[in-house]
Amino acid sequence: MKTVIIYNPNSTGDSEVNAKTLARQLRKEGAAVVVRKTAFAKHGEEIAANYAKKDEAITLVSSSGDGGYHEVVNGVLKHHSKHIVVGVLPSGNANDHYSALRKGSLVEAIRDKKFRSIDTIKVTATIDGKLWIRYAHSYAGIGITAHAAKQLTVERPNIFTEKWIVVRSLLSFRYAKVREAGRVRRYSSLICGNIDTMSKVVKLSEDASITDGKFEISYVSFRSKLRLIAYLLTAATIGLKTSRSVRKYECTTTKRLPIQLDGEVYVVDAKSELVIESIKQNLRSIL
């Protein structure tokens, strides 16, 4: 099986170096390897989609953080490909999927074809009045984490200003308001995840599974700013309490709502039906 490694030459991390190092290691094992660099935003998704259209069995490795891997996963699932295997070579600030699931050598896993079908989280809503569907490999969340991530994306901070923007976001954020079964609910945070840790320090659930066709919902209802701060401290130390394990979560947005998928932030329309559901074992992954 041929391996294609995708990297971003403009990444602030080690995307290119890591990609080329992995390629050399795989070639020493006798593997056929192609290294592809992206040329523009969302190019990784386009590359993955083009391979997914073909009948050839390929291992696609994203040398990136969770965002670049998110693109590759969505490119593959856009065509519901069953012959593509995906994997991530950690080369970004956050590598939640890799940290939660990876065991042992990536080279050995590719060489020995240690592949497994895993769940993804499908998110359906509308953006700019059009149907919008994306898949998350690890989590989907609304509330403070999505708000802070959106500000970081807009302002593109350096290492010195990043923490200040996060603190400022915490101080300015109130709540995410949605309707559930006709009832208005206000959340400081609501996260649907199938891994146990988010953003390196936020502990989601010890019950998380990537093969059971469900995801775990962790949430904190809005009551006060102090409660939100307590929530963040709890998340980073003893972990969040999982309210329930479900196959689907549905709500209606009351206004434009940021939602974070694997570190990528999108803004859903006001009065949009938001559906988050687990799709059981629809992605073949290197484990």
Do 165 and 198 belong together in one domain?
yes
Q: Containing domain of residue 68, as a range? A: 2-113
- CATH no. for residue 268? 2.60.200.40
Among 86, 113, 140, where does a domain finish?
Answer: 113
**Residue 286 located in a structural domain:** no
Structure-block tokens of residue 62: 């994203």
* Distance, CA of 6 to CA of 87 (rounded, Å): 10
pLDDT tens for 107-163 read 999 999 999 999 999 999 999 999 999 999 999 999 887 876 655 454 444 444 455
> What is the per-residue pLDDT for 266?
95
Work out whether strand 33-37 and strand 2-7 pair parallel, antiparallel, or are unpaired.
Answer: parallel
Q: How much is the pTM?
A: 0.86
**Residue 215 located in a structural domain:** yes
Among 113, 143, 173, where does a domain finish?
Answer: 113
> What is the per-residue pLDDT for 171?
58
* Distance, CA of 188 to CA of 227 (rounded, Å): 9
> What is the per-residue pLDDT for 232?
63
Residue pair 270/254 in contact (Cβ under 8 Å)? The answer is yes
> What is the per-residue pLDDT for 52?
95
Mark the ranges of the chain whose per-residue pLDDT is less than 70: 93-102, 148-172, 196-208, 224-225, 227-229, 231-243
* Distance, CA of 230 to CA of 287 (rounded, Å): 35
* Distance, CA of 111 to CA of 143 (rounded, Å): 41
**Residue 285 located in a structural domain:** no
> What is the per-residue pLDDT for 155?
44
Residue pair 240/193 in contact (Cβ under 8 Å)? The answer is no
Among 70, 86, 113, where does a domain finish?
Answer: 113
